[in-house]
Amino acid sequence: MSKYLDKGVLGAVWLSLIVLVLVPLVFIVPAGLGLTDGNFLAPVVKFLNDERLPAVLRNTFLLATCVTIVSCILGVLFALAVERTSMRFAWLAHQMIMVPILVSPLVGAVAWVTLARPSTGFINVAWRTLTGSRDPLFSIYSFAGIALVISLHVAPYVYINVRNALQNIDGAMEEAAAILGSHTLTTWFRITIPLAMPAILSSALLVFVLTLETFSVVGLLGGPAGFVTLPFSIYLAINLPPGDWNYAAFEGLLLITITGLLMILYWKVIGASGQYAAIGGKGFRLVSKVGGKVQGMLVVVVWSYAVIAVVLPVAALLLQSFLGFTTSRFDNMIFTLANWQRLLDAPAFRLAFANTMIVGAVAATIAVVIGLFVSHFSIFERMRSLEWLAGLPLAYPGIVLGMAFIFTYNGTFIYGTLAILILAYVTQFLPFTTRALSAPVMQLDKGMDEAGKILGAYTMRRVMRITAPIVRSAVFSAWLIAFTRGIRELNVSIFLYTPATIVMPVLIWNYMEQGTFSQAAALSLLQLFAMLFLVAIAERLGRRFESV
């Protein structure tokens, strides 16, 4: 009897992965090729004849290239500063560098709109006040503005990977160069950076893909600048009347093909360099730290970043959220609690808050449960294809996934309910929960599971009574990782929400579209604080479980 239940559990895991990960993709293919309305290849023809096409493609790749270059330079400099100099407050610098990863790019864009919109952005107001100039110093509604906001947001990803690589480099390799008379910079360029090159390259690929997929920043800042990239074009194709869904589907197919191929390359690169294998065994860390002029320059870079990416945006959001009315002068600014009051009283806010919590919590729970069973089957029963399938959504641009869910569920009873948001969130969370759980399960002694098996326990009981309790700290942190992603989720929600199922990031987006910057700023701050709070809990829990 239980034997059949065992097969049922495995079948359920397969089925849920297929429904969540593969089915939505299958639905956009016929639409994208024009099969659904009988105009075979019409979207392709329209796309190729679109006069905006060269500009859209050029924008998309130019942006991704610029962001990749800038963020890689920044990330490598940060990693060298924190790992290879004796700078003071390196731990604080590390925390500051990590903050932008916690904040969604949407919140970064909101902050930068308040800082640098041409007329009333605080930086431009300050510039005009100080210089008497009539022109703004810098407009955020520009290619440079968009590239800046995204670069600030993705540089930490490069930093983490490269820092990790630097920690794993045997310090003796650099000392050997130093003893041979090599200068710090020479050593870095000849030894350290080449050794970290696999990490740098893989981060560059990752950042490139992330930028290709970015919708929120381009959507908020690119509109006024007339700057359209592929994801933004998909959004416009659906939301600008009359709306051309098949055209959007074709653009989606194109985008997911590009990101899919790049992610395959990315997985090849990190697989080949064995980056993950090195994590954990840190060997000895005999590294000679440098000081002097080099350190001085790096310290300036790091703290400038902290100011530009963290301090200024948070300060601007605070200022904006208390600002009585938007003004282009400092001397008539009035500060009030009215924005916060209006936000917290708004039925839309309460609804969005409740929806965000429900959808985030339920989707995180489901994604953790699936991730747990996927890890179990993939590691203990050697079904690696399950883990691969669960990781696939990493290659899906959020905007394409959201659209795919419309195509899949349009007209079904879950369309327009929280359930469809939950399904879409679960799909997005799966790679993260599975990764977070498979790593600790992999380290478990396989005998733990086999002992249960021999004693007569079937899958359900072994997962719930043995594997899950042993890796419970990873279960909690996987849940928190997923939940925090849920709080920031915009790309999928923007397509799937209705007024009744609105979530907080969409509300921020709507406030920005309406020009209600102050409420958007207040809501962004709430998101930021929620993230910081959850991360603090996660670290606490992590430490507590480690000590038990």
Interface ranges with other proteins (CB under 8 A): 2-3, 6, 445, 447-448, 450-458, 461, 465-466, 469-470, 472
Half-sphere exposure of 139 (CA within 13 A, CB side): 11
Phi/psi of residue 50, nearest 5 degrees: -65, 125
Question: What is the smallest separation between the CB atom of 3 and other proteins, expressed in angstroms?
Answer: 6
Question: What is the smallest separation between the CB atom of 462 and other proteins, expressed in angstroms?
Answer: 10
CB atoms within 10 A of CB 89: 12
Contacts of 357 (CB under 8 A, 6+ apart): none
- Asked whether the beta carbons of 323 and 339 are under 8 A apart, the reply is yes
Question: What is the smallest separation between the CB atom of 14 and other proteins, expressed in angstroms?
Answer: 19
User: Which CB atom, from 8 or from 469, has the smaller least distance to other proteins?
Assistant: 469
CB atoms within 10 A of CB 334: 10
Question: What is the smallest separation between the CB atom of 378 and other proteins, expressed in angstroms?
Answer: 17
User: Which CB atom, from 2 or from 288, has the smaller least distance to other proteins?
Assistant: 2
Give one DSSP letter per residue of 306-317, joined into a string.
Answer: IIIIIIHHHHHH
- Asked whether the beta carbons of 491 and 398 are under 8 A apart, the reply is yes
The Cα–Cα gap between 288 and 121 comes to 44
User: Which CB atom, from 6 or from 175, has the smaller least distance to other proteins?
Assistant: 6
The Cα–Cα gap between 506 and 499 comes to 10
Cα–Cα distances in angstroms (integers) from residue 125 to residues 7, 120, 137, 184, in the given order? 66, 6, 9, 43
Question: What is the smallest separation between the CB atom of 281 and other proteins, expressed in angstroms?
Answer: 19
Question: What is the smallest separation between the CB atom of 453 and other proteins, expressed in angstroms?
Answer: 5
User: Which CB atom, from 179 or from 454, has the smaller least distance to other proteins?
Assistant: 454
Contacts of 485 (CB under 8 A, 6+ apart): 425, 428, 429, 432
Phi/psi of residue 335, nearest 5 degrees: -105, 140
User: Which CB atom, from 303 or from 458, has the smaller least distance to other proteins?
Assistant: 458
The Cα–Cα gap between 368 and 282 comes to 28
Cα–Cα distances in angstroms (integers) from residue 182 to residues 1, 76, 292, 359, in the given order? 71, 20, 16, 56
Question: What is the smallest separation between the CB atom of 457 and other proteins, expressed in angstroms?
Answer: 6
User: Which CB atom, from 5 or from 26, has the smaller least distance to other proteins?
Assistant: 5
User: Which CB atom, from 323 or from 466, has the smaller least distance to other proteins?
Assistant: 466
Rg (CA), the chain: 25
Question: What is the smallest separation between the CB atom of 451 and other proteins, expressed in angstroms?
Answer: 5
Work out whether the CA dihedral 371, 376, 382, 383 comes out positive or negative: negative
SS3 326: coil
- Asked whether the beta carbons of 487 and 530 are under 8 A apart, the reply is yes
User: Which CB atom, from 414 or from 464, has the smaller least distance to other proteins?
Assistant: 464
Question: What is the smallest separation between the CB atom of 445 and other proteins, expressed in angstroms?
Answer: 5
User: Which CB atom, from 135 or from 381, has the smaller least distance to other proteins?
Assistant: 381
The Cα–Cα gap between 407 and 24 comes to 7
User: Which CB atom, from 240 or from 455, has the smaller least distance to other proteins?
Assistant: 455
∠ CA 76-77-83, nearest 5°, is: 85
Question: What is the smallest separation between the CB atom of 78 and other proteins, expressed in angstroms?
Answer: 38
Give one DSSP letter per residue of 522-534, joined into a string.
Answer: HHHHHHHHHHHHH
Question: What is the smallest separation between the CB atom of 446 and other proteins, expressed in angstroms?
Answer: 8
User: Which CB atom, from 380 or from 497, has the smaller least distance to other proteins?
Assistant: 380
